[in-house]
Amino acid sequence: MNFGRGRSREEPEINLIPMIDILLVIIIFLMLTTTYSRFAGLEINLPTADAQASADKPAEINVAVTAAGEVVINKRPVSGSGIGAIAAAMQAVVSPGAKDPVVIINADAKAAHQRVIDVMQAAQQAGFVHISFATQAIQR
């Protein structure tokens, strides 16, 4: 006996409105509970254009890094390749009465970046806090 002969079978359907409501609540919850982390930045003191020339010219230590990775301080090559040898050569160049000498790094474009970092670490190890980079204009 078939009692449901004349009735058509109803297809089940998914109600999307409650699912959308739940997703919106989850998105709002995630937006409110998200923490934003700040990355530490490097503080750089940029020079100003209206600065007056100082009466005392600070002592300069000119450090050149060649493409082969050799370090030359005030036109004298450094015998050792380690950070300690570079720091000792920097300290030997500075006159005893000089106040806060400036280390000027002039690196070749094809020099390894690690050698420039080694020079910066040697300057820090030698106690020199003022470091500057020399640049050259490109001839076209």
Identify the CATH number of the domain in which residue 125 sits.
3.30.420.270
83 is in which domain, residue-wise? 60-133
pLDDT recorded at residue 27: 95
pLDDT digits (tens, 9 = 90+) for 57-97: 678 889 999 888 889 998 888 887 788 889 888 888 887 77
Determine phi and psi for 112, rounding to 5 degrees: -70, 140
Residue 85 domain-assigned? Answer: yes
For the chain, how many structural domains are there in total?
Answer: 1
**Tokens representing residue 46 in the block:** 């940029």
In this predicted structure, the answer to whether residue 139 has a pLDDT above a threshold of 70 is no
Planar angle of CA 99, 103, 105, nearest 5 degrees: 170
Residue 113 falls inside a structural domain: yes
What are the backbone dihedrals phi and psi of residue 105, each rounded to the nearest 5 degrees, phi first?
-100, 125
Tell me how far the alpha carbon of residue 53 is from its chain's centroid.
30
**In a 3-state reduction of DSSP, which class is residue 63?**
strand
Residue 95 lies in a domain: yes
Q: What is the pTM of this model?
A: 0.56
Mapped onto helix, strand or coil, the DSSP state of residue 136 is coil
Q: Can you tell me whether residue 138 is helix, strand or coil?
A: coil
Digit-coded pLDDT (tens) for 21-68: 999 999 999 988 887 776 667 777 777 776 565 556 678 889 999 888
Instruction: Dump pLDDT digits (tens) for 98-112.
Output: 778 889 999 888 888
For residue range 113-123, list pLDDT tens digits in order. Answer: 888 899 999 99
38 in any annotated domain:
no
* pLDDT of 19: 92
Integer-rounded Cα Rg, in Å, for the chain is 34
The answer to whether residue 42 is domain-embedded is no
Coil/strand/helix, residue 133: strand
pLDDT for the residue numbered 130: 87
132 phi, psi to nearest 5 deg: -135, 155
Kind and range of the H or E run holding 76:
strand 76-77
Give 54's contacts (C-beta < 8 A, 6+ positions apart).
none
Does a structural domain hold residue 83?
A: yes
Q: Is residue 126 part of a domain?
A: yes
Asked whether residue 8 is domain-assigned, the answer is no
pLDDT tens digits for range 1-16: 566 566 667 788 888 9
